[in-house]
């Protein structure tokens, strides 16, 4: 390595070490501290020093600032003279420890002083002092503006001044009571403001001025003048209008000596006023809105002045706006209605989605032709009132799909009344027309249609098949129509169930009926032991009763009933019979409750069925045995050979159905006489027998 390269290498190492020191710093910190308070008070012409202690590093740069303006700069411990602003060199002096001394200080040096210590590679530190220079307070005077205090004036100001010295505290007293800032008084740095002075403000006012080095007291008497000049009217609180129920105050004031008397008039009547001529209105109502007249009278001079004040009292409409839509002009057009009444003034109403050309106040209607574009469209009504802005909406829709409801009742004469209700969700409300088959129905003795047309009442209804017609209701409005047919049914049970409690002493029986079934009641029947009863001695007994019997009657609206006092060890059977007037429908399915095992009818059936089954089985076995026996007996009967003549005749008949089978060894098998006999019989009947000739005696053999 050459010497030049070595020098360069050493220089890089030096810069690296210097960078480490610059980043990490050393273990010393630059610090500054103050001796004594940071707020220093002194008098004019005295000497004062702002003392600081600096440590941590040598030769830091010290800068003293008065406010934000640097006035002294010096390197601590340097032999070079400090740099002091020219205009301050006669007053300011920096000490060897960095402290700042003021000589023959004047008022202009009352300020905030900041000392900053700067050293390369260290964080800048600083300290702050507040120096206040005072003089002894002398020659205090108080001036007023205006010169005289006037009743009803906006304000009356007492302002003090001194020929020497300034106060850092000032207190005003009225009748020996210290005045505090409030709605009537404002205590400022050099003044006291009396807002809207009145005669109660007449009296001695005392001013006490204080600084750290002196205290001075000054007193002046103030007299407030009165007189009926132009009245000063006002409403408190000050606002363009008031709301019904508010409380407000009307004031009327004027100059005058003595105090003029004030009165208020409204609607030609004089109203009572409070002291000072103010009129207080509590729980104000809209009827109290209008023009109020203030009358000021000087009782000594008789001078009088009047002035009017308009009070607006508003009231918001009650509740909220209501929107609706109706069918008009023969169920062809839609009339949108927005109503929000009761306010003062009336609210302004409009349907901006339909038109911007028209609007109304309080109650507004807008009629337009119906169209499918409006079906399901939300229409807003904008309601504007000075106290409240709101809105309501309405959506016009055509009749929706629905299911008719059938209700059956009994009138006072015991006759059945069937009510069919067709309620199709529609806006505006759909008009309903009724028909029976092809006959259009109208109000009469038997058929009565409700006012809203949604309900048909059929009086003196007969549940016979001839009266179970199909009724049709058709719902329509300007946006469409929808119809539904209702086929009335007689009293019918569609389903039933039985639910026992845990102990088996109570059961709940439920049932369902078709929605269009005409039913006025239900007869609950039971079969089995009678319900448990309690005797006088407390014991229970039960009586076995055969067959179903009625135990409860339920109205037509019921779909369940509870049956109690059951014996959990017994078996019961329940069913429900629907009733329409005097007509009974088919019973429901029988529901059983009781312990496990075979029921009583099942046991009786088995008791009767087992002997019958055994008898039938014996008869069947005997018949089979008889048939087998007869067959065997018939086969065991003797068979004789057929006469040869007959055999020849028979042999002439070909047996096309029986093939010839050869026995082993070429011998013919023995003839099957049973078959030959069965086949020969018809042949003998078909061919006449030859004339009988007695044959010679031959020996016959019988083959068994």
235: left (phi over 0), alpha (psi -120 to 50) or beta: beta
What is the per-residue pLDDT across 330-339, written as a single tens digit (0 to 9) for each?
Answer: 889 999 999 9
Q: What is the pLDDT of residue 603?
A: 60
Lowest mean pLDDT of 11-20, 74-83, 127-136, 341-350, name the range.
Answer: 11-20
Distance CA 71, CA 84 (A): 6
Q: Which of 467, 556, 468, 478 lies closest to 511, judged by CA?
A: 556
Q: What is the pLDDT of residue 13?
A: 52
Do the beta carbons of residue 520 and residue 408 sit within 8 Å? yes
DSSP letter assigned to residue 642 = P
Work out the end-to-end distance of the chain between its first and last CA atoms, rounded to an integer number of angstroms: 151
CA atoms in the 13 A half-sphere facing the CB of 605: 5
pLDDT class of 543 with cuts at 50, 70, 90: low
* Paired strand residues for 489: 517
Do the beta carbons of residue 229 and residue 298 sit within 8 Å? no
Q: Which of 67, 57, 42, 217 lies closest to 131, judged by CA?
A: 42
Distance CA 101, CA 92 (A): 6
pLDDT over 80 (residue 700): no
The CA–CA distances, whole Å, from 608 to 252, 484, 596, 601, 614 equal 117, 55, 21, 10, 11
pLDDT class of 697 with cuts at 50, 70, 90: very low
Q: What is the pLDDT of residue 537?
A: 59
pLDDT over 50 (residue 699): no
Distance CA 90, CA 104 (A): 9
The CA–CA distances, whole Å, from 506 to 127, 500, 561, 564, 595 equal 96, 6, 10, 4, 14
Residue 563's φ and ψ, nearest 5 degrees, are -120, 120
Q: In terms of DSSP bridges, do strands 470-477 and 431-436 run parallel, antiparallel, or are they unpaired? A: antiparallel
CB count in 10 Å sphere of residue 227: 20
Do the beta carbons of residue 575 and residue 509 sit within 8 Å? no
Range picked from 112-116, 301-305, 676-680, 694-698 for highest mean pLDDT: 112-116
The CA–CA distances, whole Å, from 185 to 138, 191, 259 equal 26, 10, 21
- In three-state secondary structure terms, 672 is coil
Residue 247's φ and ψ, nearest 5 degrees, are -115, 130
Do the beta carbons of residue 490 and residue 580 sit within 8 Å? yes
Lowest mean pLDDT of 327-341, 369-383, 460-474, name the range.
Answer: 460-474
pLDDT class of 100 with cuts at 50, 70, 90: very high
Range picked from 234-243, 524-533, 689-698 for highest mean pLDDT: 234-243
DSSP letter assigned to residue 691 = P
What is the per-residue pLDDT across 498-509, written as a single tens digit (0 to 9) for each?
Answer: 999 988 889 999
pLDDT over 50 (residue 85): yes
What is the per-residue pLDDT across 203-230, written as a single tens digit (0 to 9) for each?
Answer: 899 999 999 999 999 999 987 776 787 8
DSSP string, 384-403: EETTEEEEEEEE-BPPPP--
The CA–CA distances, whole Å, from 24 to 17, 18, 29, 30, 56 equal 11, 10, 12, 15, 16
Three-state SS letters, 38-89: CEEEEECCCCEEECEEEECCCCCEEEEEECCEEEEEEECCCCCCCEECHHHC
Q: What is the pLDDT of residue 561?
A: 95
DSSP letter assigned to residue 692 = P
Q: In terms of DSSP bridges, do strands 214-222 and 447-449 run parallel, antiparallel, or are they unpaired? A: unpaired
What is the per-residue pLDDT across 648-661, written as a single tens digit (0 to 9) for each?
Answer: 333 334 443 434 43
Higher pLDDT, 703 or 230: 230
Q: What is the pLDDT of residue 682?
A: 37
Burial of 187 (0-12, 13-18, 19+ CB in 10 A): middle
Burial of 171 (0-12, 13-18, 19+ CB in 10 A): middle
The pLDDT of 413-425, averaged and rounded, is 90
Mean of the per-residue pLDDT values of the chain: 82
pLDDT over 90 (residue 283): yes
Burial of 259 (0-12, 13-18, 19+ CB in 10 A): buried
Higher pLDDT, 166 or 28: 166
What is the per-residue pLDDT across 437-452, written as a single tens digit (0 to 9) for each?
Answer: 888 999 988 899 999 8
Give all strands of the β-sheet with 360-361 in edge-to-edge order: 360-361, 348-350, 378-385, 388-395
Burial of 93 (0-12, 13-18, 19+ CB in 10 A): middle
Distance CA 383, CA 367 (A): 18
pLDDT over 80 (residue 492): yes
Distance CA 557, CA 554 (A): 8
């Amino acid at each position: 390595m050459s010497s030049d390269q070595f020098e360069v290498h050493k220089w890089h190492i030096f810069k690296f070490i210097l960078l480490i020191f610059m980043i990490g710093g050393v273990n010393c910190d630059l610090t500054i501290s103050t001796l004594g308070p940071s707020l220093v008070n002194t008098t004019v012409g005295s000497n004062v020093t702002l003392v600081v202690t600096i440590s941590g590093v040598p030769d830091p740069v010290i800068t003293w600032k008065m406010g934000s303006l640097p006035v002294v700069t010096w390197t601590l411990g340097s032999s070079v003279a400090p740099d002091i602003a020219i205009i301050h060199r006669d007053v300011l002096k920096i000490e060897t420890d960095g402290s700042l001394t003021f000589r023959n200080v004047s008022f202009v040096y009352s300020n905030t002083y900041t000392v900053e210590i700067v050293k390369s590679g260290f964080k800048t530190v600083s300290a702050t002092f507040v120096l206040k220079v005072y003089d002894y307070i002398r020659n205090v005077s108080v001036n007023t503006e205006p010169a005289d205090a006037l009743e009803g004036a906006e304000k009356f100001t007492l302002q003090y001044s001194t020929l020497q010295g300034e106060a850092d505290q000032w207190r005003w007293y009225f009748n020996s009571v210290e005045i505090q800032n409030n709605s009537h008084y404002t205590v400022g740095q050099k003044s006291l403001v009396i807002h809207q002075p009145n005669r109660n403000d007449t009296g001695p006012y005392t001013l006490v001025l204080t600084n750290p080095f002196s205290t001075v007291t000054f007193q002046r008497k103030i007299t407030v003048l009165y007189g009926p000049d132009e009245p000063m009217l006002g409403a408190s609180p000050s606002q363009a209008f008031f709301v019904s129920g508010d409380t407000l105050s009307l004031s009327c004031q004027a100059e005058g000596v003595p105090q003029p008397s004030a009165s208020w008039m409204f609607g030609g009547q004089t109203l009572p006023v409070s002291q000072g001529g103010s009129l207080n209105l509590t729980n104000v109502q809209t009827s109290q809105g209008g023009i109020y007249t203030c009358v000021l009278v000087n009782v000594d001079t008789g001078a009088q002045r009047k002035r009017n004040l308009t009070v607006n009292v508003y009231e918001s409409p009650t509740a909220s706006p209501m929107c609706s839509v109706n069918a008009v002009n023969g169920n062809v057009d839609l009339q949108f209605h927005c109503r929000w009444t009761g306010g003062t003034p009336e609210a302004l109403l409009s349907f901006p989605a339909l038109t911007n050309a028209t609007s109304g106040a309080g109650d507004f209607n807008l009629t337009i032709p119906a169209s499918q574009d409006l079906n399901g469209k939300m229409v807003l009504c904008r309601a504007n009132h000075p106290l409240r802005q709101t809105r309501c909406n309405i959506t016009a829709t055509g009749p929706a799909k629905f299911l008719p409801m059938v209700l059956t009742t009994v009138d006072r004469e015991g006759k059945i009344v069937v009510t069919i209700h067709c309620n199709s969700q529609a806006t505006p409300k759909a008009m309903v027309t009724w028909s029976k088959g092809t006959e259009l129905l109208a109000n009469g003795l038997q058929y009565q249609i409700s006012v809203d047309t949604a309900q048909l009442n059929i009086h003196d209804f007969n549940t016979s098949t001839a009266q179970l017609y199909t009724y049709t209701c058709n719902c329509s409005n300007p946006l469409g129509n929808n119809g539904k047919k209702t086929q009335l049914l007689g009293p019918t049970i569609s389903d039933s169930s039985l639910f026992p409690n845990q102990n088996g002493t109570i059961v709940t029986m439920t049932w369902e009926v078709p929605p269009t079934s005409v039913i006025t009641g239900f007869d609950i029947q039971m079969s089995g032991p009678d319900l448990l009863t309690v005797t006088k001695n407390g014991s229970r007994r039960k009586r076995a009763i055969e067959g179903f019997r009625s135990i409860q009657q339920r109205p037509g609206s019921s779909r369940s009933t509870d049956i109690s006092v059951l014996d959990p060890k017994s078996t019961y059977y329940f069913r429900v019979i629907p009733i329409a007037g005097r007509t009974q429908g088919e019973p429901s399915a029988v529901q059983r409750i009781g312990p496990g095992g075979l029921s009583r009818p099942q046991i009786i059936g088995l008791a009767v069925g087992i002997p019958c089954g055994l008898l039938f089985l014996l008869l069947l076995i005997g018949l089979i045995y008889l048939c087998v026996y007869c067959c065997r007996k018939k086969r065991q009967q003797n068979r004789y050979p057929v006469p040869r003549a007959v055999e020849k005749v028979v042999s002439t008949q070909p047996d096309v159905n029986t093939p010839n089978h050869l026995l082993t060894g070429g011998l013919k098998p023995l003839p099957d006489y049973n078959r030959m006999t069965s086949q020969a019989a018809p042949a003998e009947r078909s061919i006449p027998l030859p004339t009988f000739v007695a044959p010679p005696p031959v020996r016959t053999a019988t083959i068994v």
